[in-house]
Amino acid sequence: MTERKLSRRTFAGAVGAGAAAALSPMAASTDAVAAESSIPTEQPFRAATGRTSGRPNILVILADDLAWTDLSCYHSPNIKTPNLDKLAAQGVRFTDAYAGSSTCSPTRISLYTGRYPGRVRAGLDEPIQEEATVGLEPTHPTLASLLRDAGYTTAMIGKWHCGFLPDYSPTKSGWEEFFGNFGGAMEYFSKVTRVGEYDLYEGETPYKDLRYYTNILSERAGEFVERKHRKPWLLNLNFTTPHWPWTAEGDEEEGARLEKIVKEGSPMEAGYALMHLDGGSVDKYRQMVESMDRAIGKVLTALRRSGQERDTIVVFSSDNGGERFSNSWPLAGKKGGLQEGSIRVPTIARWPARIDPGQVSHEPLFTPDWTATLLAIGGARPDPAYPLDGVNLSGYLLHGKDAPQRDLFWRVRDMRALRRGKWKYYQAKKASNPIFDGKDQLFNLTEDARECANRAVHEPQLLAEMKAAWKKVDSGLLPYPS
């Protein structure tokens, strides 16, 4: 194990109600949206046609359990995120963007493969646990392997959560470099997981660093982008912030308490310790999100300093909706379900060479679309043996074409959802309202983003069509193990 910066106390921190307006163009003018946010007035998205450029660098930044309105540019009432606000002001902010699933590893699998999580066995674990023996098979083509074969340098920094050593790792699935954690969660200072194992690696070798994890990741990412690269590069920067445990910079003492429970408590106490059921607060959550924003700001500053900013496409998003201290108002639902608050996520894209600043898009899209889009932009072809479920948005983003019209599909155990235009079909066997347990529901998201007015009896034909469309996709997916 490489030894470095062993003292937590010495090194911690060394590196250092307007949401409804954004729901759709029918909900409010973009002027009203911008007036309530910290970014300049936004214009409806319009592609800057006629421009050309070489293949860009690709920086994909993923937050962990960040809710739709947890950035100030998405109208958070208490969280200030100036760096992500600036990123949005320099590119396009998406109001109707979704995660590929509602938990960590299935969404990551959808990003790395461009396919529904249910296409692969590992995607059926919601999410993959430390004891699991499944993972993303190294033989499956990924965003990284396809771009690598097309001439890109590929790296991942941060959370992998798609399987464990010795069989699964980013370096087995197309990323030439990896620095980060394999599991779903760990204590931010000690790097201990809920099963008591240390989880910070360089490649496949443990790497000792007991500083605050968010800062370590930004430091590493900054070093990567400022290198002298001979080829275009892909960097997946995956923060664990603001996933539990609820510890911010300076909280070494609380982190040490949780670490002690994991290592010395009963199996049940250890298993629940990092979920931090006895800790956290709305303010602590704010501190964590703002810390991530500062970390991202450092990476973007490094990118600008390197002279690569104009020719780098940056995509920021979250792997699913928020946890218990997050705020998704007016959306209902949190991580793990299929209501809007469970899967609609903040999403921003910036590419100075090709996309004009100060824009907002209300087109529905989801995680696998970015896979197809980034492959196309990078000049990489999908493997025909593994057809993508995401659609290529480059025609819409770069060439002035209409956004692709198709259904967005989700399936988690005991729940289903399908979005078609403004309509959403939803069913849950354990619905938030017991009246609707196992009942088909239909919502007009333009008028009812909170999913409270079930229009199923008023639109029986549309309901039947959307239900059939959902079943058709589902029939091609793997069944859940019993």
Strand 177-181's sheet: what is its strand order? 43-44, 359-361, 92-94, 347-350, 312-318, 57-63, 233-238, 153-159, 177-181, 201-202, 205-206
Model pLDDT, residue 271: 85
* pLDDT (mean) for 309-325: 97
Percent of the chain with pLDDT over 70: 92
Cβ-contact 179, 219 below 8 angstroms: no
Model pLDDT, residue 435: 75
- Length of the chain, please? 482
pLDDT in tens, 81-107: 999 999 999 999 999 999 999 999 999
Tokens of 30: 């973009």
Model pLDDT, residue 30: 33
SS3 291: helix
Model pLDDT, residue 23: 42
Tokens of 248: 């911010």
CA angle 114, 225, 46 (to 5 degrees): 55
pLDDT in tens, 358-376: 999 999 999 999 999 999 9
Q: Does position 32 have pLDDT exceeding 70, yes or no?
A: no
Mean residue pLDDT across the chain? 92
Model pLDDT, residue 118: 98
The pTM is what?
0.91
Q: Does position 192 have pLDDT exceeding 80, yes or no?
A: yes
Model pLDDT, residue 24: 42
Selection from 107-116, 271-280, 432-441 with the highest mean pLDDT: 107-116
Distance (Å, whole) CA 148 – CA 139: 14
Backbone angles phi, psi at 318, to 5 degrees: -130, 155
pLDDT in tens, 341-353: 999 999 999 999 9
Distance (Å, whole) CA 244 – CA 397: 35
Q: What residue ranges in 2-91 does DSSP mark as E strands?
A: 43-44, 57-63
Name residues whose C-beta falls within 8 Å of residue 91's C-beta, 6 or more positions apart in sequence. Answer: 314, 348, 349, 350, 351, 352, 355, 357, 359
CA-nearest of 364, 427, 453 to 23 is 364
176-to-138, 147, 172, 236, 353 alpha-carbon distances in Å: 13, 11, 8, 12, 27
Model pLDDT, residue 437: 83
Specify whether the backbone of 203 is left (phi greater than 0), alpha (psi in -120 to 50) or beta: left
* pLDDT (mean) for 158-173: 98
